[in-house]
Structure 1
Amino acid sequence: MVVLFSLQSGVSSSSSLKSSHSTSSVYNDLHKKPVGSSSKKDLLTGLYHDQRNYTSLKNSKPSPSTVSTYTPRLDEKCDKQFTDTYSRPSSRCTTPALSAAALASLGGSSSRRGSGDAGSIIMDAEASISELKDIYDLKDQIQDVEGRYMQGLKELKDSLSEVEEKYKKAMVSNAQLDNEKANLIYQVDTLKDVIEEMEEQMSELHRETEEKSKELERQKHTCSVQQHKLEDMKEGIRQRDELIEALERQKEYFDCIRNERDELRDELADLKGKSRMGEKHGLVIIPEDMPNGDVSHESPTSGITVVTQEAAQVLESAGDGPLDVRLRKLVDEKDELLSQIRKLKMQLEEERQKHLKIDSVYTEGERMENGTDLHFIEMQRDANRQISEYKFKLSKAEQEMATMEQNVNRLEGQVSRYKSSADNAEKIEDELKAEKRKLQRELRTALDKTEEMEMTNNHLIKRLEKMKANRNALLSQQ
């Protein structure tokens, strides 16, 4: 009994010394209530529940998808839960409070029951000591769980800091990638503008090439037409020259024939004059149908024939012999000359038909000697008229050439004006295209800036929401 009371007094003193340090509701309940089977069961179930909570907190690891969403609110909640749940003594020196309470209860009961219950008190003390040992074991387990929890929390904080660093690095890398993307987009836009300019230049060169080719074809066509006209003009000039030469030769030939005709006329007139003179002087020309020289009319009775000096020269040129033979020779020569004149006329007609291609039929009167001069004059008139017509055609062709040259010059002036206006329009178009590209670049830069501002605005909104959430959490904790 003395040992028991001493144990009770030691336990009560130690409990009185350590009771000031206890803050847990479980231990306060143990001080207030007597130790019973129901309180022991409640204590054991509470400690087991706390151990399960610690083990569940230790074994629960954050998923990679939720690591990046940890905020200071998680740390505050964990600290609050830890401070609210585990505000208990962590050393073995605080445990005698329970034993003191149990022993006090045992002492109180023993004082009431008396000395007869000493054996039951000893048994209860031994049971309480075994329970205290179990409680110490549970406290050791709780301390181990607390250590593991703190270690897990520290690891979680380290991993959270690492994740935050990685998140910051990822944000920096994303910003760098966004900058590189913007630079690449700007380069792509610049290259697109360069490609558009090159395509415009290529299309312009193709258009100029087509225009030059069309102009070259037109020039070739006009050149071929001018060459054909020039060849026609040359052919006309050549024909005109040939015709002029033929007319000159024909004129010379006609002059020769006219001279011969005049000579024959002169000779014929001389012969006629001589024959008249011979008839006057008693000379008779015997025709061809009089073989013997007889005449039907009365012959002159004078036997002496008197001729002029010119007639004597003509008779001498006729040769030797009697007078009638000489006269017959002269008549034959006259007939031959007339036949030659007819032949020359026929040749002249053939030449005229050959060179001038005149399809006209001349009457018999035009072929007579009296009409030869008129015919020659008419031929000369026709030749002069043709020459004048060719000259008129040539002058007309020259005028047409001059008008065509004037038209060509006028068209060239119009083409030059059109080219200048087209060049001005192209310059204006190029300026407008450059201004359009500039405006497109400015629009793209403005859109990029707008997107960046929207991204920064969204980021700031998220940060503001996080700050509001943290503030609300702090206010709720306070």
Structure 2
Amino acid sequence: METSVAGRRRTTTRHSAEDQALDQIAKEAEARLAAKRQARAEAREIRMRELERQQKEAEENADRVFDMCTDANRAMRVTPDPVRASRLLAGTNNFQSSRRSSEDSLEDAGLGRDLRIELKEFEEKFRKAMIANAQLDNEKSSYSYQVDLLKDKLEELEEMTAQLRRELREKNREAEQSKRLSQRLKEDLDICRAQLLERDTLIQENGLVIVEDEGSEGEETQKENGPVVRKRVLVSTEAAELLQNAGEGSLDVRLRKFASEKKEQQDEIRHLRLELEEARNRMRPERSSGSVLGLSDSEDAQREANKLLADYKFKLQKAEQDMSTLQATVARLESQVIRYKSAAEASEKAEDELKVEKRKLQREVRESQGRVEELETANSHLQRRLDKLKNAKSALLKEL
């Protein structure tokens, strides 16, 4: 039993050391993860500023191109047509031109109007195309930023999933160790129960009786501070009857009562011996001069005294034997009770601790499994969103 208790202590110490090591590893992993998250956040901010700058430059370029096109259109509108001017000048100089020249001038005027209308239409289309291009560029930048964010989140979720899986494996390993330790403790408990059953069988076979200590004032004082286990003593049937006849109280009180009775008997025997010596001394001078009747009376008194003395000696010897037997039995049973009590308390305490640890580990395993399932669901959802964004991006690129 002592070996098993020592083994459990070593296991508990090793378990605490493993817990400290695992806690240190978890703290380092959390620190690394926090550093990675901070670095990603900084990179995300830098990337966002870069995208905003690129978007602003694209808008400025689009505005610049649009302004250039507008200036060119205005210049084309302000600049006079040399052909038309020459024709108008010729018309003023030659008012009476031919019919064909007038028809050509009308056709040229209609052609100029058509060209101006087509130019306006092309300018409007170009402006719309530039606006659409800028919008598409903005959407492309926004989608790229969202894709980068989703990639970062996906990487973080993958890291968290891997960390949770490692923690789950560690918790499963600890749970297996706890199960093995619980099995060993159950085996030790079965061994203790078998030993107790064997002890009870031996007690019954030898005709012994377990006497329980009824407690004392000191034990009553200890009850206020905590539970007190009463002492039990293994004695013979005769000794149990003697202790029962001795009255109520603890074993120490009963043994003190036996000791006081023994002392009283010894004092009484000593007193009787003194009386016997005095009677003998008185009877010596009377023997020489006394009659036959006096001699017979003294002989009867002597016989009574001897008989009484023999009875007291026998009782004294028997009491001494019983006392020594009880003391040896008390010492032996107290040592056994202390040993069994310590072993039982250690087993019960270890069993309770293992039950608490088992429930705690089962709860942590369930929580870890729930977190893993949630992360897997979020991972699959983010993967679907990423696929949709990739498809939308590819469709936009095809349209462009």
Larger Rg: 1
User: More relative contact order in 1 or in 2 (CA 8 Å, sep 6+)?
Assistant: 2
| Structure 1 or 2: more helix by fraction | 2
TM-score clears 0.5: no
What's the TM-score once normalised by structure 1's chain length?
A: 0.36
